Amino acid sequence: MGKGQGFGFGLCPFIPDRYPLRCERFGRNAVNNPFSPDCRKLQRYAGLATAALMACATIITVLMKGAQTTPQEVATHDVAPAFKLQVERNLVTVRVVVRDRKGEAVDNLRQEDFQLFDRGKKQTIETFTVEKPAPNPAEKSPDASTPQPASEATGKTPPDFTSPRRYVALYFDDVNTGISGLSRTRDAADRFLKTSFHAGDHVGVFAASGQKPLDFTDDLDRVHQALQDIRPHPLITADEMCGAITPYEAYLISQFTGLHGQTNDVIILVQTEKVLCCGEPGYCKPPPVEAIRMEAMRVQAETEKRAVITLQGIEALVGRMTMLRGQRSLVFISDGFLSETLGDQLSRLADRALRANIVISALDARGLFVPGFVADASVGGGLASDPQMGSLKERLMSMAATQESSVLGTLAQDTGGTFFENSNDMEAGIRRVAANPDTYYTLAFSPQNLKHDGTFHALKVTLVSGKGLSIQVRKGYYAPKKSEDAAGQEKEEIQDAMLSTNEMLGLPIRVNTQYFYGRQDQRGN
C-alpha cells in the first residue's frame, strides 16, 4: 500500500498507520497541493480517521474495565463455606460419699483414688472437688471477755453481722401424702428447729401444691406458722373405695401386652376383688377385661400427673436455691409415688441439683411399713375369704411400697443426700436429713460420642484402694434427648453454669474440624 494508506492498530484495521495532517509542499504534485481536489479529499479522510480512532479508544477502555471486573464477580461465587464452631456440653456430674466401717465420712481422698465407669468403659475425670460441711458459727464466735472494736461515730460496739451460712428447704409433698404423714413430719420438723437452729441458718417451707410457701427466713415464729398450715392437697382425688385399682396395679396392667381379651393374674385379682366388694357376690359378675384396662389407664394417668407436679415443684425450688450463696440442702418429705415412667425427668432433676451444688435428702413420711393387706381394712379387706388372691394382694402391696419409696431414695443417692425410711421416729429422721451434709466428692466427666437418644447409662465408681470403705453414688444417668426448644435449653444451661458454685480450673473442649477443596484444588492445580 502507498504512503498514508496502510492499516494498523490490530483492533481497528480500518485506521491508516500514517496520514498527512496537512499538504505542505506546493507544486505540481496534486496530492501535496492543498488546493487540489485530492489533497482536500485526504484531509477529509484524516478527520474521519481521527473520529474513528477516538471511538475505538473508548471501546477498548470499556473492554479493559470489563476484563478487570469479571474475575471479581467470579470470585464472589467461589467463596469457601463459612467456618462454623459448634459447642456441645455433655458434662456429667457425679457426687460420691465415702464412709468407713463406722459410718463416718472419709474426707482425705484425692482424684487419683477414684475410678469412674460409664457402661463399663473407664472415663477420664475432668473435674474433682471436695466439699466439707461448714463449721458452726457458734464455734467461731469470739470470747465474751475479748473487747470488741467500737464505732468511731457512736462509741458503741457494732452489732455482729453473720451472713447466712446454710439454707434448708423443707419441701412437703402435700399432693401424694396423707394427713397422717404430713402431721407427724411437720410436728417433728417444728420440734427439731426449736432445739437445733443455729445462727446463720435460714429455713424455707414449701409444698408441692404451691400453697402458702414461706421463703427462706431466720424467723422461727413464721416457720412455725408455715408448718402448721401444711395440709393435704391431692389435686386429683384418688378412688379409695373397695375394689378400686391401686396405682401399682394400674402400672402392671398397663405393662401387660396381651391380645384383646387376654388376662393375667393382676387382672384376675381386680375382677375377684370387685365381685367381693359389690355386696352380693352371688349376683355380681366380674367386669370385662377391656373395662379394667380402661380404668387402669385412667388411674396411671392420674398417678403420673401427680408425680409430675411434685417433681416440677422440686425443680423450681432447685432453680430458686441456685441463686443463694452458702450451703444449700433440700429435704423432700413424702409418702412416695411411682416414678417408673419418669426416669429421664428424675435424671435431669438430679443433674441440675448437682450442677448447682444442692444436696437433696428425703424422708419417708409413712414411717414403719407393716406388711399384710389386712392391716389396712379400707384396701383389700374382702379378699380375706380367698387365700390365693389375698396372698397375691399382699405381695403387690409390699412391692408397691418399695417402688413408691424408690423415688425418694434415688434423688437422695444421686445428689449425695440421706434417705430416712421405715421408722416412726420422725424427729430423728428430720434431724438426720436436715443436718449438715457429710463430706462428699464431686466428679465430672464428658462421655465420648454420647448419643442424644434418652437411654440409661449405668455408672460405677470404685476406689483404687478402698478396703473397708463403702461408696454412695448415683446409679446412672439418662442421655439427653434432642430438645425441640434448643434455645430454651441452652439458656437454662447457661444460667445454671453462671449461678453454680462449682470451681472450674479448666475448660474441657473437644474440637472437630471439617476441610474442603477450593476451586483450584478441584482442578488439580
Tell me the per-residue pLDDT of 215-229, one tens digit each, with 9 for 90 and over: 999 999 999 999 999
Report the b/e string of 44-54 with b at 16+ CB within 10 A. eeeeeeeeeee
> Hey, what's the cell of 391?
396372698
Which of 40-54, 69-83, 364-378, 389-403 is predicted least confidently? 69-83
454: number of Cβ within 10 Å = 13
Instruction: Give the strand order in the sheet containing 456-463.
Output: 121-123, 114-118, 456-463, 476-478
The more confident residue out of 7 and 259 is 259
Q: Which residue has the cell 484524516?
A: 46
Angstrom distance (rounded) from CA 389 to CA 270: 9
Amino acid identity of residue 35, one-letter, is F
pLDDT exceeds cutoff 70 at 75: no
Residues forming beta bridges with residue 478, ordered by sequence position: 456
Q: Which residues contact 316 (CB under 8 A, 6 or more apart)?
A: none
Question: 3-state SS of 464-485?
Answer: CCCCCCEEECCCEEECCECCCC
The more confident residue out of 367 and 277 is 367
Helices (H), 97-210: 137-140, 179-196
Angstrom distance (rounded) from CA 380 to CA 331: 33
Maximum Cα–Cα distance for the chain, whole Å? 155
Confidence of residue 357 (pLDDT cuts 50, 70, 90): confident
CB-based contact 364:173 (threshold 8 Å): no
pLDDT exceeds cutoff 60 at 404: yes
Helices (H), 370-485: 387-415, 426-434
Closest of 412, 194, 486, 206 to residue 321, by C-alpha: 206
Is beta strand 470-472 parallel, antiparallel or unpaired with respect to 92-99?
antiparallel
For position 252, what pLDDT does the model report?
A: 92
Tell me the per-residue pLDDT of 5-19, one tens digit each, with 9 for 90 and over: 444 444 444 444 444
Angstrom distance (rounded) from CA 359 to CA 74: 62
Tell me the per-residue pLDDT of 437-481, one tens digit each, with 9 for 90 and over: 678 899 999 998 888 888 889 999 999 988 889 999 988 888 887
Angstrom distance (rounded) from CA 217 to CA 157: 26
Q: What is the pTM of this model?
A: 0.68
**Burial classification of residue 10, based on how many CB atoms lie within 10 Å of its CB (0-12 exposed, 13-18 middle, 19 or more buried):** exposed
For position 313, what pLDDT does the model report?
A: 97
For position 170, what pLDDT does the model report?
A: 97
Which of 44-58, 71-85, 225-239 is predicted least confidently? 71-85
Which of 216-225, 231-240, 252-261, 315-324 is predicted least confidently? 252-261
Angstrom distance (rounded) from CA 432 to CA 333: 13
The alpha carbon of 501 is separated from its chain's Cα centroid by a whole number of angstroms, namely 17
Average pLDDT over residues 165-176: 94
For position 342, what pLDDT does the model report?
A: 92
Q: Which residues contact 151 (CB under 8 A, 6 or more apart)?
A: 157, 158
The more confident residue out of 266 and 492 is 266
Confidence of residue 515 (pLDDT cuts 50, 70, 90): low
CB-based contact 39:31 (threshold 8 Å): yes
pLDDT exceeds cutoff 50 at 23: no
Q: What is the CA radius of gyration of the chain?
A: 43
Which of 88-97, 318-327, 369-378 is predicted least confidently? 369-378
CB-based contact 226:212 (threshold 8 Å): yes
Q: Which residue has the cell 439454707?
A: 167
Angstrom distance (rounded) from CA 496 to CA 482: 19
CB-based contact 457:216 (threshold 8 Å): no
Angstrom distance (rounded) from CA 372 to CA 351: 37
Which of 77-86, 196-205, 283-292, 295-304 is predicted least confidently? 77-86
For position 451, what pLDDT does the model report?
A: 87
pLDDT exceeds cutoff 80 at 487: no
Q: Which residues contact 400 (CB under 8 A, 6 or more apart)?
A: 246, 247, 248, 338
The mean of the pLDDT values for the chain is 77
